[in-house]
Amino acid sequence: MSDVINNKAHNRYELAVEGHLAATYYKLDGDVITFVHTEVPSELGGKGSGSKLVKGALDPVRAAGLKVIAQCPFVKAWIEKHPDYADLVKR
C-alpha cells in the first residue's frame, strides 16, 4: 500500500491502492479543515483502505495544528471509533 498524499490542487487526500484511488475531499478555512466527502472504490471495500486514508489525512492535520469539522459521515464515524483523534474535532 502506498502513502496518503495531500493533493492540494484538488482539495483532497488520496490513497492509491491496486490501481484504484480512494480520496477524502476537504475545504480549508484558516485553521479549520472540513472533510466533506470520502470515496472508496468498491474494489477496495473491506480492506482497510478507507481507515488508512482517514488516518493518513488526520495525522498531518494534527501536525499542522488544524481543527476538524467532519461533515463526511465516514470521517465522523472513524473519529468516533478512534477517541485519540477526538481532540481534533472543532467544538
Extract the C-alpha cell encoding 28.
480549508
Residue-wise pLDDT for 3-43, tens only, equals 999 999 999 999 999 999 999 999 999 999 999 999 999 99
- Angle at which helix 73-81 crosses helix 49-63, to 10 degrees, equals 80
Rounded to two decimals, what is the model's pTM?
Answer: 0.94
**Residue 60 to residue 64: CA distance in whole angstroms:** 6
- Beta-bridged to residue 27, according to DSSP, are 34
CA angle at 88 for the pair 65 and 22, rounded to the nearest 5°: 95
Which domains are seen in the chain, by residue range? 5-88 (3.40.630.30)
